[in-house]
A and B are shown apart, each in its own frame.
Chain A
Amino acid sequence: MMMLETNEPMFDSPIPGESLTAELGARPWQSPPQYPTVDEAMEYYLSRMAQEDFMVQLVDVLEMDVPVSALANTIQLSGVMQGLHTVDVGILIMPVLMEMIMMLGDSAGVKYQTGLDNPNKGKTRDTLLSKVAKKYTKTLEEVDVKEVVKETEEEGEEEAQYSSGLMARRK
């Protein structure tokens, strides 16, 4: 099986059994959510986003080129961790959060990244390049260079013999 190679360290992933290090129900997300419906959660976030201190922080983050989609995901995920709403409600309200963040960014005149476009679109994949390079190296290894040179020289001589028509350039 081939392992997916990443350039990022894997040290921040949870260790096995980490979820069992606290009593069941001790974590906020293990108790019933504060806002169980989509409407309540949306109302909470929209009123929170209308606060001035939130807006100022949001604009700062957007100016740091953090994509809107990543920001919305972080906001809803922190809501889940605080026990405000469930994961499914958080995912459902993400488009509203993104739209709201974009609106705040527009009103503040910030040039933000939406995160909706694939930055790697149109670029040649590194894996494809390495694959082609490997194939080329393998082909080069299989070919006998001396033989190819000899064949090319012979072909050249044959061509010289046959290229003696009426219009051929005289030596």
Chain B
Amino acid sequence: MSMYGSTRNYNPGIALYKAMDIENLPQEREPSKEGGLLVRKDMGMANKNMDQSNPVFRVAKQMEVIRKYRNMSNDDA
């Protein structure tokens, strides 16, 4: 019976929150500073794992920002 968190109903948020692996999210690559005009560039598709069309990825990104801010404020306190 996995209804903890709520008083009586099943809460899908708990499983979702635990499943969000935001520590291992693919990071955006910094563009290389070296190279001239003729150097081959990654045109936006820096990482194939970063699927912006996936709503879960966008939620995870937002969550990552809030988590960072939360950790920062906890460290300051």
Contacts and interface: CB of A to CB of B under 8 A. Distances in A.
Contacts of A96: 59, 62-63, 66
Contacts of B56: 92
A115 B2 CA distance: 11
Contact of A99 (B5, B55, B63): B63
Nearest to B70: A103
**Looking at chain A, what size class is its interface with the partner chain?**
20 to 34
Contacts of B5: 67-70, 73, 115-116
Interface in B1-47: 2, 4-9, 11-14, 16-18, 20
Interface in A129-155: none
A58 interface: no
Given A38-B58, A106-B74, A107-B73, A95 B4 contact: no
Contact of B12 (A94, A116, A118): A94
Contacts of A95: 13, 16-17, 20, 59-60, 63
A91 B62 contact: no
A98 B16 CA distance: 10
A92 B15 CA distance: 11
Closest 9 CB pairs between A and B?
A115-B5, A69-B5, A94-B13, A38-B55, A103-B70, A70-B6, A99-B66, A95-B17, A67-B5
Interface of A: 6, 8, 37-39, 42, 67-70, 72-73, 76, 91-100, 102-103, 106-107, 109, 115-120
Interface of B: 2, 4-9, 11-14, 16-18, 20, 55-56, 58-60, 62-63, 66-67, 69-70, 73-74, 77
